[in-house]
Amino acid sequence: MSNAYSKDLERWLPRLISVWRASRGRGDGPEGRLTPQEVKEVGAGVKQLSLGLTRERQLAGARYMDDPRLLGAYLLFYWPVSYAQARQVLGELPNRPRHVLDLGSGPGPVAFAAMDAGASEVTAADRSKPALELARKLATEAGEALATREWDPLKKNATLPEGQYDLITMGHVVNELYGATDEALKPRAALLESVLTKVKKGGSLLVMEPALRETSRNLLKVRDLLVERGYAIRAPCMYRGACPALVKETDWCHAERAWPMPKVVEELARVAGFHKESLKMSYLLVAPKGEPWPEPPPGRLFRIVSESLEGKGRQRYIGCGPEGRVGLAMQERHRSEKNEKFFHLQRGDVIEATDLETKGDGYALGENAEVRMVAQAGRGVPPAPKPPEPPREPAAPVPPAKP
């Protein structure tokens, strides 16, 4: 995460702690940090949330944000994580959004991330009144204007907030809707289609999910349903067909970003018994109906979708680009100034590579290979250059007027 994101998040942490203490009727305590007793108390809630949302999944879809203890644990641990994830993904938007709607907002981490990324009008919508109340208190604490609406997609005849938006976000929401079986995929895709009718031309829908195998694969299955129905994906996909990560049951696709973990998050993670050294999430940026897929720049492009698979005497990754999901490998002896970048890639980077030879499940980069960084992880892929306009024909000379 860049220094700008880190500084923005650091400004939020004292506000999160202050609002949490006020919600419990306790305003005392050191500013910007938790006491050992508070760390222990909140850490227990974080552990319960983690088990219920990522392992046993019994809290998925439940009204856990109406529970003050779990809402507090979310606010102090998952709020900073979701904020940082959103700031990373928002860096890939083709345009800075002005009007934003955050659906399933909880206490607003993604809403405030959009605000800090330059949005001027943000609406947070959720079914939990306590979560929306905390979002409003955070806005007051920060001196920001945040609109809030109640929204429950599971209610019969549920309606979306009025208006059209440059960006609609759904952070860690869709995986909790309509159950845990494949039968949930079609209603999830239908919900996203209805949400996309509220996105302005040139705008985007951001769907962000946990990086678990199940939730990530289900997001890719929903992606395929949308692609079949004519929707274009702005990011991270450059492949326009059915997702190749779904071919093998053992595969899935997610993003991973390094970030300087705030001390509060680090303390709570330690007490809860797990580590969060990096940000992991699955995401899609979807264009509204009728908009074309982005045209990438020329060359053979690949987004790195795996960690380093370094082996004896070689470097290897899995890449996914316009031609599909493939292995990319280079022998150490072929390393040169022109391809040095290949040996230091991160998951999410987009590269252009030359001198590719078909080998095994993908390509081997030869001794003359060149590797160019097209877009670092968290940055948008630049569009293909527009063709030059044809030169205008000189205007025909005007004949002199007759005497």
pLDDT confidence of residue 311: 85
Rounded to whole angstroms, the Cα distance separating 215 from 90 reads 21
Residues 6+ apart with CB under 8 A from 314: 329, 330, 331, 332
pTM: 0.92
DSSP string, 70-91: HHHHIIIIIHHHHHHHHHHHHT
Predicted confidence (pLDDT) per residue in 9-19, tens digit: 999 999 999 99
pLDDT confidence of residue 281: 96
Could you tell me the two tokens for 189? Answer: 């895709």
Rounded to whole angstroms, the Cα distance separating 204 from 101 reads 11
Q: Which residue has the tokens 């391809």?
A: 339
Query: Domains along the chain?
Result: 5-286 (3.40.50.150), 301-375 (2.40.50.1010)
Could you tell me the two tokens for 170? Answer: 């759904």
pLDDT confidence of residue 236: 97
**Which CA distances in Å does 8 have to 11, 264, 339, 364, 390?**
5, 15, 35, 42, 46
pLDDT confidence of residue 49: 81
The length of the chain in residues reads 403
Amino acid type, 307: E
Q: Is 234 helix (H, G, I), strand (E, B) or coil?
A: strand
Q: Is 98 helix (H, G, I), strand (E, B) or coil?
A: coil
Amino acid type, 357: E
CA angle 212, 206, 296 (to 5 degrees): 100
Residues 6+ apart with CB under 8 A from 163: 99, 101, 123, 198
Q: Is 320 helix (H, G, I), strand (E, B) or coil?
A: strand
Rounded mean pLDDT for each run of 10 residues along the chain, 403 residues in total: 76 95 84 91 88 64 79 93 96 94 97 96 96 97 96 90 96 91 95 98 97 94 98 97 95 92 92 83 97 95 95 94 96 96 97 95 94 96 82 67 60
Rounded to whole angstroms, the Cα distance separating 12 from 110 reads 13
Residues 6+ apart with CB under 8 A from 319: 302, 303, 304, 305, 325, 326, 327, 328, 351, 362
373, burial (CB in 10 Å: exposed 0-12, middle 13-18, buried 19+): middle
pLDDT confidence of residue 1: 42
